[in-house]
Amino acid sequence: MARQSASSTSQHPLIANWTLHRWINRQALMPVVCLSFLLTFASTNVQAELPANANALKWYKAGQSFVKQQKRFTRGKKRAKNVILFVGDGMSITTVTASRIYEGQMNGANGEEHMLSFENFPHTALSKTYAVDRQVADSAPTATAMMTGVKTRFRTLGVDASASHGDCQNGHLRTLLESAEIKGLSTGFVTTTRATHATSAATFAHAIERDYESEGGGCADIAQQLIEFPFGDGLEVAMGGGRQMFIPVSEGGKRKDGRDLTAEWQAKYKGATYVTDTASLKSVDKNTDHLLGLFSDSHMSFSELRDQSPKGEPSLTEMTGKAIELLQKNRKGFFLMVEGGRIDHGHHAGIAKLALTETIEFSNAIRRATELVGSDTLIIVTADHSHTMTMAGYPRRGNPILGFAGRDANDRRYTTLTYANGPGHRDPTKEGVELDLSNTDTEAFDFKQAAAVPLRFETHGGEDVAIYASGPGSQWINGVMEQNVIFHVMNEALLGGK
């Protein structure tokens, strides 16, 4: 955060007195801390579709007020033509640190001094990730907060906390992607999870239950909502896994309604293309207007384990590059959400190496984006929530990050990275459990780090996650922010708050 403070000072050259500068920083944070004060006294001229529910409106207006307060100190900044939101699913601050070290070590250095591509962005902040009903959230309400400006309940997508099962209409929240389409911008998402999974679904779908991917509990399911998207001229880019959610059971899919949504996509849009592997993605003509890419039946493979042949799956970097190439055709601009979704899955499996290699690929995709866009693009990098991985012990400088940190009270070796809970728990009372890891390859892709509490799957963590930002509007990213404020920063930068 020291880098942020220096950056903030350079934004306000007239502020020479340190005490005054600290007072101004406190004022910038007050909207997050004192929501009731803001709701009483703040006003806005933004002409937006406001949430109908009173509690949802509270979150929305508080986020607006935060951005309005930040703008007082950063006048004269131009609007963003484009916005790219990169979401590292489960990318905790510990994950960033460990991945930074791991990539540096793979490049032959000690690692600690290394930087991931986005760590050089000029503006940083912390994001509070709780849901309205949970201290520790899942990806559905956290993604909804970032895409709609409103915090909501556990497992719900694109709806406020008033939404109930069986009610297909009430509580819907307008997403940034929907607003961008209405304004004539191009839009899209890229993910390494199923296209209908929580984070990507939050850009376009509205569901009381995130698992309504191919069946909607009486309402339109998430895959159906993607194909029947009613705003603007529809998404220009949708890429990820989850092919089974789009095709009927008779063709090996999950759909019981008999619909082939991949065929419907191609029939619905002029200039539409559907691709299923790396070769077909690379062959997509730049004049394609609507691209649907579904590269696996369920989630895409982990980056280091994927089939890299032409008939295999493209990398996140390759998908990101193609998405930007297509979206940049629109002179009005674009909005793109890119998710490194399998960082989260590596952590849930208790396998740190998978999470770290996914984070490095995520960083590669961000680097590629920065090469393709100009200074008129706001890029925000963040996580939806954290995980329970910790980095501890007293390992020497340059010690392998996936290696041993020292010995425990029983003189057994333990690793630098461990989990608070998960499948890596080793119960000494169970026969055949190996407690001494001295002869274990801790850098293997199937090695599970030790976990204190035994669980089938490791859980999310509840601490704040980092936000990194560059480009027009990035100056409003600072301090400790409610997660839903990220939406308001993007909305203000891209659409002028409208």
* Confidence (pLDDT) at 429: 74
pLDDT tens-digit map of 66-109: 777 766 555 556 899 999 999 999 999 999 999 999 999 999 99
Amino acid at 294: L
The residue among 196, 199, 208, 189 whose CA lies nearest residue 139 is 199
Catalytic positions, written as ranges: 139
- 239 within 8 A of 293, measured Cβ to Cβ: yes
- Would you kindly state where each structural domain of the chain is located, as residue ranges? 82-388+459-495
* Confidence (pLDDT) at 54: 86
Mean pLDDT, each 10-residue run in order, the chain (498 residues) = 39 36 42 39 50 86 78 67 98 98 98 97 97 98 98 97 91 98 98 98 98 96 98 98 98 98 97 97 96 98 97 98 98 98 98 98 98 97 98 98 95 96 89 81 97 98 98 96 98 90
* Cβ density class 46-78: b for 16+ within 10 Å, e for less: bebebbebeebebbbbbbbbbbbbbeebeeeee
Contacts for 92 with CB less than 8 Å, ≥ 6 apart: 383, 386, 387, 389, 461, 463, 465
Please identify which residue in the block is written with the tokens 């004049």: 287
- 319 within 8 A of 237, measured Cβ to Cβ: no
Query: Other C-beta atoms within 10 Å of 45: how many?
Result: 7
pLDDT tens-digit map of 222-265: 999 999 999 999 999 999 999 999 999 999 999 999 999 999 99
* Confidence (pLDDT) at 10: 38
* Confidence (pLDDT) at 72: 59
For CA atoms 147, 153, 159, 162, give the dihedral sign.
Answer: negative
- What percent of the chain is predicted at pLDDT more than 70? 88
C-alpha count within 13 angstroms, C-beta hemisphere, residue 241: 22
This prediction's pTM: 0.87
User: Structurally, what CATH architecture does the domain formed by 82-388+459-495 represent?
Assistant: 3-Layer(aba) Sandwich (3.40)
* Confidence (pLDDT) at 77: 63
